[in-house]
Amino acid sequence: MSALSRDDVAHVAMLARIQLTDEELDRLAGQLDQIVGWVGQINEVAADDVPPMSHPLPLTNVTRPDEVRPSLTAEQALAGAPASELDRFSVPRILDEG
């Protein structure tokens, strides 16, 4: 006996704004019931001594430290710019905001 009824599947389909035929409702009721059962099996296997994780492999951050180092001056950065104003790139306005 399916724990999810055809009406349950029809309600979920309505919430998801999915139109299903009568045959699809009958078929999906059994399939969704199986999926719910599998999720229940996973809950039974999960042990309290296993910490929750977001990824199965240990990941480390591979970015470099944010350190100040020599770089271009404003004049050097703007040397090839078609237009500049107040030590900034000047570009055409794209929005009508003040």
Domain limits, the chain: 6-45
The DSSP string of 40-90 is: HHHHHH--TTSPP-S-SS-----PPP--------HHHHHTT-S-EETTEE-
Question: Is the domain 6-45 a CATH 1.10.20 member?
Answer: yes
Do the Cβ atoms of 14 and 25 come closer than 8 Å? no
Confidence check: pLDDT of 1 > 50: no
> Is a pLDDT exceeding 90 seen at residue 81?
yes
Q: What is the pLDDT of residues 17-53, one digit of tens each?
A: 999 999 999 999 889 989 988 888 887 776 777 777 7
Q: Name the residue with tokens 């078609």.
A: 82
Take residue 83 and report the two structure tokens written for it: 């237009």
**0.85 surpassed by pTM:** no
The pLDDT tens digits for 61-76 are: 888 888 999 999 999 9
